[in-house]
Amino acid sequence: MVVDALDECPVETDTKANVLCALRKLPNLHLLVTSRPHVDINSEFNSLVQLDIRAANRDMEVFIRGRLDEHRNLKRYVDEDFKEALVDKIVNKSEGMCVQLSISLLTARFLLAHLHLEMLSRQRTRNAVRDASEKLPSGLDDTYDDVMDRIYKQSKEDVDLALKVLSWITYAKEPLKAKALQHAVAIKPDMKTLDDGDLTDIDDLISLCAGIVTIDPQSGIVRLVHYTTQGYLEKKLMDRKVDIARGCLIYLGLEEFREPCDWQGGEEGLENHLDDRMMKYPFVHYAAVYWSDHIRRNLEEELKDICLSVFQWKGLRDSISQIEQYLRRPWELSPCGIEHSLLHTLASAGLNMLCRLLLDKQFEGFHMYIDEISQS
């Protein structure tokens, strides 16, 4: 039996412990487990043979030559005389890097080479490539710093787009597909409508991120190139968490969601209407499920006004309830979802501070119970 990437079991669940428990119970088992270096996992298998897999220089050379031959800019500016010297330089940089224990040296070396090549590919003359090759960073953090420097040297509009992409990918509670990410990035303050004319091409969004974002061709998920990128960006983009939470609220507040889908055509007609709505607005799936997770605890005070402004509308609360019901309990689907008062909505979301403020009547004009606030 082969168990691949055991270290990627979610830390917040008992999946890893359950897998290990089940494996111990299997008799006469020939087992191969792959994992990044991990103290807990190593201790579970300390009596077994362990093999440290490292990237051989020969493999690195093949990888780098392949990229040099494939990339249009690199083919143009790296001639045969310079190619071998460049390959040696990148291999030596990756070989000499200092890697933390929790990082796989196998993937980290290829990652560093990839980022170096990405940086070189953005040069626009042969001499610029040669000059840049003399300044290649030696470690991952230094390389990521260089990537961020290149991002910040773009136009103000491009920097804003790149940071939005990186923030959404870094802090999203689940992976986002291309169309959903395009919608998330398109969100602007006070936006009431959103259509395809507001979207930036996904290839442009990826290009603005200087090589640390990629799209999976099979699943369509847009992701960071490596898990170390996530750790780096979590430290660099801490102040953008509030923008993620606010973006979810703005999206849910679009005029499209001010009323639930109607019951015309019966249950099948309602499902079709909901399918059409969610296809037209692919980010609503994420926003409806996770908006409260992004606000809870640390951001309730800062976002209390927009949160109450969005959910004051009975029709919108019914609409979001209907979407949540469709995603989580489709067999209970009803024309209006489950009717929720403003207080019920906030309590269900676990927003304790906002509930207390509402009960203390510190928000003038907001009713605790199911109301008939008009949209006029």
Residue 336 has a pLDDT of 53
Helix (H) or strand (E) holding 215: strand 213-215
Which residue is listed with tokens 């799936």? Answer: 285
Sequence-ordered list of residues with C-beta below 8 angstroms from that of 263, at least 6 positions apart, any chain: 269, 270, 335
Structure tokens at 238: 């801490």
- Helix (H) or strand (E) holding 214, with range, is strand 213-215
Q: Please tell me the least confidently modeled range out of 67-71, 173-177, 328-332, 349-353.
A: 328-332
Residue 87 confidence (pLDDT): 95
Side chain identity, residue 111: L
Query: What is the pairing mode between strands 2-3 and 32-33?
Result: parallel
Q: Is the pLDDT of residue 69 over 60?
A: yes
The residue count for the chain = 376
CA–CA dist 176, 49 (Å, integer): 39
- Whole-prediction pTM: 0.81
Closest to 348 (Cα-Cα) out of 291, 302, 304: 291
The fraction of the chain above a pLDDT of 90, given in percent, is 51
Q: Determine the Cα–Cα distance for residues 367 and 342; give it in Å rounded to an integer.
A: 7
Q: Evaluate if residue 33 carries a pLDDT over 80.
A: yes
- Could you give the CA distance from residue 108 to residue 97 in angstroms, rounded to a whole number? 9
For residues 52 and 250, the model is more confident at 250
193-248 pLDDT per residue, tens: 999 999 999 999 999 999 999 999 999 999 999 888 999 999 999 999 999 999 99
Percent of the chain residues topping a pLDDT of 70: 85
Specify whether the CB–CB gap between 248 and 287 falls below 8 A. yes
Identify the residue with better confidence: 291 or 11. 291
Across 119-167, the runs of DSSP E, i.e. the strands, are: none
Confidence label for 359 from pLDDT (cuts 50, 70 and 90): confident
Give the pLDDT of residue 335.
57
Query: Distance of CA 259 to CAs 294, 324, 375, Å?
Result: 24, 14, 10
Q: Which pLDDT value is given to residue 212?
A: 95
Tokens encoding 17: 């412990």
Largest CA distance in the chain: 76
Whether pLDDT at 12 is above 70: no
pLDDT at 376 over 50: no
pLDDT of residue 370: 41
φ and ψ at residue 71, rounded to 5 degrees: -80, 130
Per-residue pLDDT, 11: 61
Residue pLDDT, tens place only, 295-332: 998 899 999 999 988 998 888 998 888 888 888 766 56
List the structure tokens of 143. Answer: 């390389």
HSE of 316, CA atoms in CB hemisphere, 13 A = 25
213: tokens are: 């974002």
Q: Is pLDDT of 34 > 90?
A: no
How confident is the model over 78-121, as pLDDT tens digits?
A: 998 899 999 999 998 887 654 443 445 557 788 899 999 999 99
Residue 361 pLDDT exceeds 90: no
* Rounded-to-integer distance, Cα 175 and Cα 291, Å: 15
Tokens of 233: 């960006």
How much is the average pLDDT of 36-42? Answer: 65
